[in-house]
Structure 1
Amino acid sequence: MQDGCWPFHLFGANFATESEAKKFVFEQWEPEPPESVSEAEYISWEDRNPTWRLAEELGFSMDSDFVELAGTPQDVIAQIRSQSERALVSSRVGEFTHFIMVGSNAIWGDRRSTSTQVEPLVRLPESTATITYLGLFN
């Protein structure tokens, strides 16, 4: 990444508001219970949190530190090294209200795998009911 271009998976999506987009793209936490709750109630809260619709729909274990909701299509294009990849994104900007960038290093486990062993990823992300996979860039 010497030239400042990081490898990332790009998704396009259509959300009614920025708030709706953020609720999908980023982890969501319920308020932490007060110290007066029982240990069982606290453990239940831990088990429910966080929820993360993006990771759930994709079916991967992911690191949220490497997920970005792009401010504008130009923000995405500026981070792409290849002219042909830039042109591809430019040709599709009118189709989506939001773009989601997921670093290639953010995806570390396939929740669809039946193996109990840590294994390298064998499938690429794909489109879901909510987001459209546009490809791996850089």
Structure 2
Amino acid sequence: CTIAHALEKTKYPDSDIYWKKFDEKYHFSCQFTADLFAMNHTDFIITSTFQEIAGSKDTVGQYESHTAFTLPGLYRVVHGIDVFDPKFNIVSPGADESIYFPYTDEKRRLTSFHPEIDELLYSPVENEEH
């Protein structure tokens, strides 16, 4: 399992369009490519807010900015990341520790759901639910 974190693209407006101009200093071509690989190969993406994922009516989210963009002369991203993928998880700062607890604290897990989860994950049968 890997976790993608701290994307650089939204920190520098128009950095994708002008990547060549700043690549020697900031290595945007490497950063954006690494971000795409990390996001698409990770199992979980943990963010603090929904806005970080998909932005708002006035701003583009950090991850949303990787949906489609162009690095002129290098490559064009047509479908970089799906911000509605269930791999996105929001865990707000100050999260309730009765809900969000370490994975090592096994006795607090809701084990009654394990058979149903196993069925969803590992069943060879495909139907309307899964």
TM-score, structure 1 as length reference: 0.23
Determine which structure has more spread, i.e. the larger CA radius of gyration.
2
Between 1 and 2, higher relative CO (CA 8 Å, sep ≥ 6) is seen in 1
More strand by share: 1
